[in-house]
Every structure is written in structure tokens, then in C-alpha cells.
Amino acid sequence: MKGRQRELVERAYRAYGHSVHRRACQILGDEEEARDVMQEVFVALLDRPLRFEGRSELATYLYAATTHACFNRLRNRRNRDRLREERAAAFEPSFDQTQPDVVAALRQVLAVLPDNEARAAVYHYLDGMSHGEIADQLGCSRRTVGDLLERMRARLSLAGRREAKGGG
């Protein structure tokens, strides 16, 4: 039965994969995430064939399953972004850009960060841009911007702990 099920899912993938992908792109607006959803939908059909009970056409089932998977992703993304923003707000460093020693320290920090993290930091902390505005500048998602700023803060936190221990 497993081989037959696999064959049926493969045929369904060839017949409906483009429709599932297109639907996911419409909802998510992200090509890579849409591909992930498409895979999830068909893997779920392979792993749990009883979910499709034949009460509707396969295309109808796939349309509903894709929509549901996309909404789950959007909800998860929204929760991750909210949590990331809350953590970032708790960290937000404050510095006076008019003080030469502060600007010099900032330049030293930026010099050791990877380019994309440094650019995100400048846009966020110096220019006061939102994650959406930074995403537009960097050509990435708001989620990626949050990840970049989080990695940058983690690096600085780790470097600060090393310095405090005398590990320079």
C-alpha cells in the first residue's frame, strides 16, 4: 500500500503542485516559504493519507490544506516578530551620536560585524528605521532583519562578556 500511496501522491504533485505553490505565494508573498508549504502539504498527504478522506475532490482538499498551512505560517511569523520586537525593545541601546567617543566605539563595533549585520544596525540604531524599512533597503524580509539584529546583539553580548572576563 505504501508504494501505491507514494505513486498517487507523486501524480497529485505533478498535477496540482503548481496550483498549491501559486496559492501559497498568493497568501504568503514569499517564494521560498511557498515552496516550503507546498512540500509540507504533499508530505502530509503522503504521511497521513487518511486526512484526505475523499469527501471532496483532491484539488479542493489541497486548496484548503494549503490555505490552512499558510495561515499557520503567518500566525507563527506574526508571533515570532512580536516576540523579537519585545526582546529588541528591552535591549535597545541608547547612545549620544554627538559624543566623539561613542561614535568611535560604534565604528569599532561596526568594523567587526559582518556587512549585513552592520548595515542593519546602522539603519536601525543610527537612522531609526523600522524593520520593514530596513528590509526594503537590504532586499530581504522583516524576519531576516530581526534575525540580523538579534545576531548582532548576541555577538556584542558575547564580546562584552569576554571583555569583562579579561578575554579581550
pLDDT tens per residue across all 168 residues of the chain: 577 878 888 998 999 999 999 999 999 888 999 999 999 999 988 876 555 555 668 888 899 899 999 998 888 877 777 776 666 555 445 555 566 666 666 677 777 778 888 888 888 877 788 999 999 888 999 999 999 988 888 777 665 555 556 554
The single residue listed with the C-alpha cell 567587526 is 112
Would the pTM of this model clear 0.85, i.e. be above it?
no
Domain boundaries, the chain: 2-83, 92-165
Handedness of CA 51, 57, 60, 66 (dihedral sign): positive
CATH number of 92-165: 1.10.10.10
For residue 35, give the 3-state DSSP assignment: helix
Q: What is the mean pLDDT of the chain?
A: 79
Cell, residue 153: 546583539
Q: Write the pLDDT tens digit of every residue in 85-100.
A: 666 555 445 555 566 6
Secondary-structure class of domain 2-83 per CATH: mainly alpha
pLDDT tens column, 66-83: 999 999 888 887 777 777
